[in-house]
Amino acid sequence: MPKLYIFGIGGTGSRVIRSLTMLLAAGATVENCDKVVPIIIDPDAQNGDMTRTVELLKTYERLRRQLKPAPAPGEFFATEIQTLAGMAASENQPRDARVKETFAYNFGGMDESYRDFLHYDDMPVESRHLVDLLFTPANLASKLTVGFKGSPNVGSVVLNQLMSSPELEFFANSFAEGDRVFFISSIFGGTGAAGFPLLLKNLRNPRTTLPRAELLNQAPMGALTVLPYFNLLADDGSAIDSNGFITKTKAALAYYQKNIQQLNALYYLGDQSTGQLANHEGGSQQQNNAHFIEMVGALAVLDFMRQPADYLQHNQPLHYEYGLEEDVRQVTFKALDPGQSFRQIAQPLTQLQMLALWCRYHLPHTQEAPYANHLQLPRAWRDEEFYQQLQRFLQDNNFGFEAWLRELGANERAFLPFEDPAMATENFNRVVAGQSTATGLFNKGLTRSYLFGELNKAIPKPVATADGPAAFVRAFSEVLSKAVVEKVPGF
């Protein structure tokens, strides 16, 4: 079956994949494929943005594995997400033992300077002179442990080792007719600005030594290029200065205009409403709040996948930008394009928010309800892996859905689709910002008792233990979808 391979390059790649994972958990549809395979590329092995995205993906994968039969399109966790190695195992393909069961490419901990990486001291004198022309002394002295510190000229050299890696060879070997590739990177940093053009050039190279070169040359490929959308606080001790973001962006765009011709679709995204973040060169401290721009970046993936393959391949490269219905600092669902963005994500995200509210506030009060007893929830919620992973996905303070929503609402360009992103209320009638459910003497709206009754109807008889997780997801998807469509105005 068709697969989507997503190369998330650098910190921005990880952050957009985090938002995409939330949309897929909510039930947003990825058309023309039934499996997503993220491949995160970041030489900074301790990057906070990367490590929490990897943990989120692992949690999603563990949770999704418990759902048999698989959820139907539009239900929670409907899209399968797998590692390269896991994908091969599920399709009974030969496994390369060198490819680890992970979502992130392993650079092997490059605890050395760029000078040592190049073996500068062993070079002939002529080669050293050439290197000195291309790289500053600061470039050469820079440690590679935390990546390329905003220097794509360094990244383009180091990332060349990707092309001979077992992971990339394994990816090419697993590539099949109908599969697609999407790249996610920033254009104003080091890893993303260097990695995206390099990967694209090599995957589209007709003389590549990678397996299945003909398929790779013909496959639909798209990319998201993220322009500056934040600034960094000034820090004389840091090698990264956000005052250079625009200059780097202009230079990279000029290069893209001349050299990025092998794509089928290229999405540009940025924001002039740029808040300031702490200046961390890398490591575990580089963990930024989720941002509205990254969620829109996830929409670029969905848009690319809904395009028919023949439309992508028989036209000139397509170029896209994104705009809001109105330029507001606090973005609600009403600010989204009603014909596309709103239609794609408003209902799924609202349903996932309601599921999170139910699990946090209402589930403890309905443990003895018929639906809960039929699912054996009093025991399963405490003991079974699926429910443990679901609680982590929704409530983990570092990477979970509730934390993601709080972070989205804490930026200068805040995404505040719900009345209470802090999850401090159990009132379903006021879930969606500006779209409160109408209530009256004979209509209490979205109450616990209403949802309680609908869940009892959805699970009218006992369910076998092994079938419990799938029945739980199916019932909540059905009940919350009905509740949103029938009770929340504007849907």
> pLDDT of 167-206, one tens digit each?
888 898 889 999 999 999 988 766 767 778 888 888 998 8
Strand residues in 167-307 grouped as ranges (E): 180-186, 221-226, 230-232, 265-269, 275-277
> What number does CATH give the domain 3-106+149-322?
3.40.50.1440
Give the model's pLDDT for residue 202.
85
For residue 460 the two structure tokens come to 């009218």
DSSP letter at 118 equals: T
Give the model's pLDDT for residue 274.
60
Give the model's pLDDT for residue 234.
45
Residue 477 has pLDDT above 90, yes or no: yes
How far apart are alpha carbons 179 and 163 in whole angstroms? Answer: 20
Going by C-alpha positions, the residue among 415, 411, 414, 395 that lies closest to residue 403 is 395
Strand pairing category for 275-277 and 318-320:
unpaired
pTM: 0.88
Taking only the tens place, the pLDDT of each residue in 289-338 is: 899 999 999 999 999 999 999 899 877 789 999 988 888 989 999 999 98
Residue 162 has pLDDT above 80, yes or no: no
Angle at 355 between CA 354 and CA 361, to 5 degrees: 85
Taking only the tens place, the pLDDT of each residue in 424-473 is: 566 788 889 888 776 655 567 788 888 989 999 999 999 999 999 999 99
Average pLDDT of the chain?
84
| Domain boundaries of the chain, sorted by first residue | 3-106+149-322, 111-144, 341-487
Over residues 366-377, mean pLDDT: 91
Residue 211 has pLDDT above 90, yes or no: no
Taking only the tens place, the pLDDT of each residue in 392-409 is: 999 999 999 999 999 999
Q: Quick check: 80 and 21 in contact, CB under 8 A? A: no
User: Residue 251: which residues within 8 A CB-CB, separation 6 or more?
Assistant: none
Query: Between the CA of residue 78 and those of 2, 61, 455, what are the distances in Å?
Result: 15, 11, 20
Q: Quick check: 196 and 183 in contact, CB under 8 A? A: yes
What DSSP letter does each residue of 249-275 carry, written as one string?
Answer: HHHHHHHHHHH--S-SEEEEE--S--E
User: Residue 109: which residues within 8 A CB-CB, separation 6 or more?
Assistant: 45, 145
3-state secondary structure of 36: strand
Give the model's pLDDT for residue 158.
62
Q: Quick check: 445 and 487 in contact, CB under 8 A? A: yes
What type of residue is 3? K
Going by C-alpha positions, the residue among 77, 3, 28, 8 that lies closest to residue 299 is 28
Counting every residue, how long is the chain? 491
Give the model's pLDDT for residue 144.
61
Residue 366 has pLDDT above 90, yes or no: no
Higher-pLDDT residue of 66, 237: 66
Over residues 92-120, mean pLDDT: 73
